[in-house]
Homo-oligomer: A and B are copies of this chain.
Amino acid sequence: MRIGELSRLTGVSQRALRYYEQQGMLTPHRRPSGYREYGADAVGTVRRIRTLLAAGLPTRTIAEVLPCIVELGDSVAATCPDELARYLADERTRIVDAIAELEAARDLLDTILGAR
């Protein structure tokens, strides 16, 4: 598919999709015209990129993590080198902390809104 369809399917802007490619997270083929051509698997890849970006992982790390993820029908399996695994374990801790922060923000807004 071309970039417009991938953008529609994922809800991610074309600009962002080109940026992901520039950062080495996506590697579409090119048509003779120069148009980018994405495979059907790009949809799942983009969703994973968004998930990890939302978690605060930098694009460089995501580019390292993505090749470790293997599709298995509906689910995914993965293997990755030890050093990356240790880094990801730290990131997991930060994500859990971030969830707690967002819950605090939600509660703060509830206080502000509930006081009316």
Q: Mark A89-112, 1 if CB is under 8 A from B, else 0.
A: 101100110110111111011111
Give the copy number.
2
Distance of A75 Cα from B55 Cα, bound (Å): 29
Query: Quick one: closest B residue to A57, CB to CB?
Result: B105
A contact set with B: CB distance below 8 Å: 48, 50-52, 54-55, 57, 65, 68-69, 75-80, 85, 88-89, 91-92, 95-96, 98-99, 101-106, 108-113, 115-116
> What 15 new A-B contacts, CB under 8 Å, besides A57-B105, A80-B112?
A48-B108, A50-B101, A52-B105, A55-B101, A55-B102, A69-B112, A76-B108, A78-B111, A85-B113, A88-B113, A92-B110, A95-B102, A98-B102, A99-B102, A102-B102
